[in-house]
Structure 1
Amino acid sequence: MSVEEEEYGFLRANALTLAFGGLFVVTLAGQAISGTADFNAQQITNGLQPVSLFEYVTSSSFGVDVMENWQSEYLQFFLYIFATVWLVQRGSSESKEPGQEGTESDAEQKVGRHADDDSPAWARTGGWRTALFSRSLGLLMGALFLLTWAASSVAGWAAFNGEQLGQRQDPVSWVGYLGEADFWNRSFQNWQSEMLAVGSMAIFSVYLRQRGSPESKLVGAPHRDTAETG
Structure 2
Amino acid sequence: MKTFFRDNGLSVVTLGLFLVFWAAQALTGFQVHNSDLEEHGRAALSFGQYLGTGHFWEATGENWESEFLQMAAFVLLTARLYQRGSAESNPLPDEELPPQPKPDGPVPGPVRRGGWAAQLYGHSLSLTLLTLFAVSFVMHLLGGTAEHNLEEALHGAPPISVLEFLGSADFWQQSFQNWQSEFLSVGAMVVLTIFLRERGSAESKEVEVPHRHTGK
- Structure 1 length as normaliser, TM-score? 0.85
SS at match of 1:14: helix
Q: Determine the structure 2 residue equivalent to 1:84.
A: 78
Question: Which residue of 1 is the match for residue 184 of structure 2?
Answer: 196
Distance 1:59 1:117 in 2: 47
Q: Secondary structure at the match of 1:199?
A: helix
Q: Determine if the alignment matches structure 1 residue 131 to structure 2 residue 125.
A: no
Deviation at 1:116, TM superposition (A): 8.0
Structure 2: which 5+ runs fail to align?
95-99
Matches within 5 A, 1:75-154: 75-99=69-93, 118-154=106-142
Deviations 1:51-108 (A, max 9, x none): 22222222110110011111110000100000111111111100011227xxxxxxx8
Match of 1:45 in 2: 39
For residues 131-185 of structure 1, the C-alpha deviation after alignment (integer angstroms, 9 at most, x for no partner) is 0000000000001101110111011111111112222222111111111111111
Alignment of 1:19-34 (within 5 A): 19-34=13-28
Which runs of 5 or more structure 1 residues have no equivalent in the other structure?
A: 101-107
RMSD: 1.9
Match of 2:173 among 179, 185, 199: 185
Paired residues of 2:62 and 2:136 also in contact (CA < 8 A):
yes
- Please show how residues 51-66 of structure 1 align to structure 2 within 5 Å: 51-66=45-60
CA distance in 1, matches of 2:207, 2:181: 28
TM-score of the aligned structures, taking structure 2 as reference length:
0.91
Contact 2:90 2:215 in 1 (8 A): yes
Structure 2 CA distance for aligned equivalents of residues 41 and 161 of structure 1: 17
Share of identical aligned residues, percent? 39
The CA deviation string for residues 162-209 of structure 1, in whole angstroms up to 9 with x for no partner, is 112222222111111111111111111111110101111000111111
Name the SS of the counterpart of 2:106 in structure 1.
coil
Q: Which has the higher contact order (CA 8 A, sep 6+)?
A: 2
Residues 202-217 of structure 1: pairs in structure 2 closer than 5 A: 202-217=190-205
Counterpart of 1:68, as a letter, is E
Rounded to whole Å, the distance in 2 between the matches of 1:117 and 1:12 is 19
Partner residue, 2:144: 156
User: Aligned partner of 2:200: which letter?
Assistant: G
CA distance in 1 between partners of 2:64 and 2:187 (Å): 19
* Alpha-carbon distance in 2 for matches of 1:167, 1:137: 45
Q: In 2, Cα distance between the equivalents of 1:116 and 1:48?
A: 62
1:18 to 9, 12, 15: 12
Cα separation, 2, equivalents of 1:85 and 1:98:
12
Amino acid at match of 1:30: A
- What's the secondary structure of 1:86's corresponding residue? coil
Q: 1:222 to 1:117 in 2, by over 3 A?
A: closer
Corresponding residue number in structure 2 for 1:9: 3
Count of residue pairs brought into register by the alignment: 210
Q: 2:161 aligns with which of 156, 168, 173?
A: 173
